[in-house]
């Protein structure tokens, strides 16, 4: 079983993903967490939708469920330090993370991080607890696009950038 888990982790480490920070603010407080699990669900429902998988013990996950809104901030390739900050690698507590980042509140009150290649402000549509992680689906209400479209990637356990063949 441990072997299956290790082979799964090694296999998934080969899937380079983009890196985002899911932020939230509201009655449960302001939190943010680095995620590689951001995925588009649909552009063609009542509103575009996306999903993120966040560990159930992450304070950001519980806060998103309570605040019923969040912002998915897709990081620019130069934002490794911001990724480390919101992954807890910089050892900053939840409020201190926001003091070290530039951000503004979007129309839904969600923290929109400056310098991201795209920001998607969402209302919580639904969430499902699957074993250790919440699968969180958001309905997108606003999108900000920077003029720097290169997204930060994470693959084979390191930050990477995409290069064109």
Ligand X SMILES: Cc1cc2nc3c(=O)[nH]c(=O)nc-3n(C[C@H](O)[C@H](O)[C@H](O)COP(=O)(O)O)c2cc1C
Which residues would be at the binding site for ligand X (CB under 6 A)?
Answer: 19, 33-37, 53-55, 58-60, 83, 87-88, 154
Nearer to ligand X, 44 or 161 (CB): 161
Nearer to ligand X, 130 or 165 (CB): 130
State the minimum distance, in angstroms, from the CB of residue 33 to ligand X.
Answer: 4
Nearer to ligand X, 35 or 50 (CB): 35
State the minimum distance, in angstroms, from the CB of residue 36 to ligand X.
Answer: 4
State the minimum distance, in angstroms, from the CB of residue 48 to ligand X.
Answer: 20
Tokens 């290169």 belong to which residue?
150
Find the DSSP H helices in the chain. Answer: 2-13, 59-67, 80-86, 94-99
State the minimum distance, in angstroms, from the CB of residue 3 to ligand X.
Answer: 23
| 3 state SS of 71 | strand
State the minimum distance, in angstroms, from the CB of residue 165 to ligand X.
Answer: 24
**Plot region of 72 (φ>0 → left; ψ -120 to 50 → alpha; else → beta):** beta
- The whole-angstrom separation of Cα 54 and Cα 85 is 16
Nearer to ligand X, 23 or 83 (CB): 83
Nearer to ligand X, 3 or 124 (CB): 124
Tokens 């552009």 belong to which residue?
43
64 and 122 in contact (C-beta within 8 Å)?
no
145 and 118 in contact (C-beta within 8 Å)?
yes
């Amino acid at each position: 079983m441990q072997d299956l888990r290790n082979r799964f982790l090694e296999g998934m480490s080969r899937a380079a993903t983009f890196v985002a920070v899911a932020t939230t603010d509201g009655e449960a407080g302001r939190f943010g967490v680095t995620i590689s699990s951001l995925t588009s669900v649909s552009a063609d429902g009542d509103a575009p939708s996306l999903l993120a998988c966040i560990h159930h013990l992450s304070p950001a996950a519980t806060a998103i469920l309570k605040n019923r809104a969040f912002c998915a901030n897709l990081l620019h390739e130069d934002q490794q330090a911001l990724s480390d900050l919101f992954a807890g690698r910089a050892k900053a507590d939840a409020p201190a993370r926001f003091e070290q980042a530039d951000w503004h509140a979007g129309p839904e009150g969600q923290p929109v991080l400056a310098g991201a290649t795209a920001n998607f402000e969402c209302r919580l549509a639904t969430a499902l607890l699957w074993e250790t992680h919440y699968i969180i689906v958001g309905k997108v209400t606003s999108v900000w696009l920077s003029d720097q479209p290169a997204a930060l990637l994470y693959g084979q356990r390191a930050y990477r950038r995409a290069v064109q063949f």
